[in-house]
Chains A and B, each alone.
Chain A
Amino acid sequence: MDEAIRNTIVAIIAEAGRLPVPANTLADEADLYQAGLTSFASVQLMLALEDRFEIEFPDRYLNRRSFSSIAAIGQVVGELLSQREAA
């Protein structure tokens, strides 16, 4: 994952994720739901990601797995960014 993208994702998780633990202590593969991400916060997180990266999550990414870890978010964001560049 691109380091700048990763840092932005961690910053957005810290703002919108409402986790009981600091976002910068999470490993890339750590399960965000176990860390306390609620379904409501995952929506806020997604809206913040859409806003910051100027992307839109299509329906097929609207599931638990897409937001299950920093790595999973990074992969989806990366795909959407490259699709946008290709378009």
Chain B
Amino acid sequence: MGFQEPATRLADAAPQDRSAYGLALNRRARRVAEIAARHADAVDREARFPREAVDAMKAEGLLGAMIPVAFGGEGASLADIAMVCSVLGQGCSSAGMIFAMHQIKASSLITHGAENPWHRAFMRRVATEQLLIASATTEAGIGGDLRNSVCAVEQDGGVFTLGKDATVISYGPQADALMVTARRNPDAPSSDQVMAVFTRDQYALHKTGGWDTLGMRGTCSEGFRFEGAAPVEQILPKPFAEIAAQSMLAHSHLLWGSVWSGIAGAALARAQAFVRADARRRPDATPPGALHLADAAAKLQGLHGALSSALRRYEEAKATEDGLSSMGYAVAINNVKLLASRTAVEVCQAAMQVAGIQGYRNDGAYSVGRFLRDAMSAPLMISNDRIVGNTAAMLLVSRLETDLVG
């Protein structure tokens, strides 16, 4: 209901042809989004895990898409994955966000685990067994700053144990593996962190908090006490400081932004359907909502442009030695997060304005309340206030970009 039919119907193509691969991937994503959309209202109402959508992602093989071909995946680019996020976000916001969070974890493995035999083998398992990875980076007592940990890795011979009061682990019980941050050892300062991978048989979760929220209700981002033990080779060799800067920042902002653009697109598609029905009834007059629709369509187009250029810029920055860690890149990616989160809310609000009381209702074909509630999480997921403050600090020294780069 919430998403548009694919314009292109091509047979699934071979992965060696990039554009054909992209089209085939789009078809697979749309099949999942159709299933996700059918259950999206129930997922939202019951605040339950979107099981049908995630099963469909696994059936379509989407969870391993970004893993390099050498490790059993498809070698999809970040732009490919962003496209999937936007398609899934149209069907079910929570399912789209779960897919995005999984791929952000996968990106850390891909970027920082390729040198390590255990992580290489694990990537192969993610691709072949379609393992869903969740994240445990927030903790009680750190004030929402994932670059600090209270808990610490305790090593004993070749094995380590870890206990963490995780205030949020999205889809924790449904995940097949967890990536957890902690201090390097019990004597390390709070910022000297590592990230470790645990498979489902290596940890226990005890629920400590619920997830009854305005929107994004299906991500099931509940609190847990985590207790795990695993061989030390499962700790990623790079410091988490580097993992956060090199893979998590860009992937989070770009993939979340793509999900949000999908949510906004789905809401606006309903508003357009409303305007069209209105216009059919009164062919001689432009419906009053049509102007809001046109305005919001321009905003959505601006967001698509910003995401596309940021995805291109990511590939360029990745190809240079300090590209991803440069201040100019961090400013640019922060700005994309701000733009995407604000635009998603604005477009959903415009959609409601267009559809009027039919949009405000929670039932019917023009209901946009769920999209608006889901989109309102966007400015809070890593608070925009924190991001603006961070950008403001960097702009004390970083050169302002004033030239249009083609």
Residues of chain A having any CB pair with chain B under 8 Å: 20-21, 31, 33-40, 43-44, 46-47, 57, 59, 62-65
Residues of B within 8 A of A20 (CB): 189-191
A21 touches B328 (CB 8 A): no
- Of the A-B pairs whose beta carbons lie under 8 Å apart in the complex, a sample of 23, sorted by A's number, is A20-B189, A20-B190, A33-B239, A34-B192, A34-B241, A36-B190, A36-B191, A37-B191, A38-B147, A39-B330, A40-B389, A40-B390, A43-B393, A43-B394, A44-B393, A57-B397, A59-B328, A59-B398, A63-B325, A63-B326, A63-B327, A65-B322, A65-B325
For the complex of A and B, 3 pairs with smallest distance between CB atoms: A36-B191, A64-B325, A62-B327
The answer, yes or no, to whether B396 is at the interface (CB within 8 Å) is yes
Residues of B within 8 A of A65 (CB): 322, 325
Residues of A within 8 A of B396 (CB): 43, 47
Residues of B within 8 A of A46 (CB): 397
Q: How far is the CB of A80 from the nearest CB of chain B, in Å?
A: 14
Residues of B within 8 A of A44 (CB): 393
A71 to B398: give the CA distance in the assembly, Å.
Answer: 22
A34 touches B191 (CB 8 A): yes
A35 touches B325 (CB 8 A): no
Cβ proximity bits B127-140 to A, threshold 8 Å, 1 near / 0 not: 00000000000000
> In the complex, how many residues of chain B place their beta carbon closer than 8 angstroms to a beta carbon of chain A?
24
Cβ proximity bits B236-249 to A, threshold 8 Å, 1 near / 0 not: 00010110010000
Number of A-B residue pairs at CB separation under 8 A: 59
A43 to B395: give the CA distance in the assembly, Å.
Answer: 9
The answer, yes or no, to whether B399 is at the interface (CB within 8 Å) is yes
B399 touches A59 (CB 8 A): yes
B189 touches A62 (CB 8 A): no
Known: A34-B239, A59-B399, A62-B327. A39 touches B394 (CB 8 A): yes
Given contacts A31-B241, A33-B241, A62-B327, 10 further A-B contacts (CB under 8 A): A20-B190, A33-B191, A34-B192, A35-B192, A36-B191, A36-B192, A43-B396, A46-B397, A47-B397, A62-B398
Q: How far is the CB of B330 from the nearest CB of chain A, in Å?
A: 7
Q: How far is the CB of B153 from the nearest CB of chain A, in Å?
A: 14
Residues of B within 8 A of A35 (CB): 189, 191-192
Residues of A within 8 A of B245 (CB): 33, 64
Most buried by B among A35, A40, A47, A64: A64
A21 to B192: give the CA distance in the assembly, Å.
Answer: 11
Residues of A within 8 A of B325 (CB): 63-65
Q: How far is the CB of B190 from the nearest CB of chain A, in Å?
A: 7
CB nearest neighbor in B for A50: B397
B398 touches A36 (CB 8 A): no
A34 to B322: give the CA distance in the assembly, Å.
Answer: 18
A33 touches B242 (CB 8 A): yes
A21 touches B239 (CB 8 A): no
B241 touches A62 (CB 8 A): no
Residues of B within 8 A of A59 (CB): 326, 328, 398-399
A36 to B184: give the CA distance in the assembly, Å.
Answer: 13
Known: A39-B394, A43-B396. A62 touches B328 (CB 8 A): yes
